[in-house]
């Protein structure tokens, strides 16, 4: 890599890289906003496990939550922050740089 070439791994983010956190970010990037229970079902994890991963992402300012009452029940909605979306996109770019282009031979 030359001095003028940006480091393709610069966007690698250890906070996002944990498999469940990567899946949370992918789901929220696609959905925009998602109910906590939906995310829990999609990831097939316990509420406790999801809460721990969401807390890590919130501490990094990558995810924010919104609480709302619906049908007399409180629901928690999750979404990526702008910083979280940028970090997720940068992390995906770094992973693509690590993997490289697909092998053209069958």
Output the pLDDT for position 9: 78
Which 8-state DSSP code applies to residue 18?
Answer: S
In this structure, are residues 29 and 81 in contact, taking their beta carbons and an 8 Å threshold?
Answer: no
- Domains of the chain from N-terminus onward: 14-96 (1.10.10.10)
Confidence at residue 75, expressed as pLDDT on a 0 to 100 scale: 92
Show the low-confidence residues of the chain (pLDDT under 70). Answer: 1-6, 8, 102-103, 106
Q: Which pTM does this prediction carry? A: 0.85
Per-residue confidence (pLDDT) for residue 84, from 0 to 100: 98
**Residues 11, 91: contact at Cβ < 8 Å?**
yes
| CB contact at 8 A, 47 and 54 | no
Q: What's the confidence (pLDDT) of residue 69?
A: 86
Sheet holding 73-80, edge to edge: 34-35, 73-80, 63-70
Q: What is the pLDDT of residue 71?
A: 80
DSSP secondary structure, 32-52, as one string: SSEEHHHHHHHHT--HHHHHH
Exposure b/e, 49-81, CB count within 10 A at least 16 = b: ebeebbebbeebebbbeeeeeeeeeeeebbbbb
């Amino acid at each position: 890599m030359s001095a003028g070439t940006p480091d393709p791994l610069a966007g690698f983010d250890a906070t996002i890289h944990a498999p469940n956190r990567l899946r949370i970010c992918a789901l929220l990037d696609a959905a925009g906003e998602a109910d906590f229970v939906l995310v829990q079902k999609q990831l097939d994890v316990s509420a406790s496990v999801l809460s721990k991963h969401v807390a890590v992402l919130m501490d990094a300012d990558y995810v924010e939550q919104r609480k709302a009452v619906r049908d007399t029940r409180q629901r928690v909605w999750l979404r990526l922050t702008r910083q979280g979306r940028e970090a997720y996109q940068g992390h995906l770019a770094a992973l693509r740089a690590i993997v490289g282009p697909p092998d053209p031979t069958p």
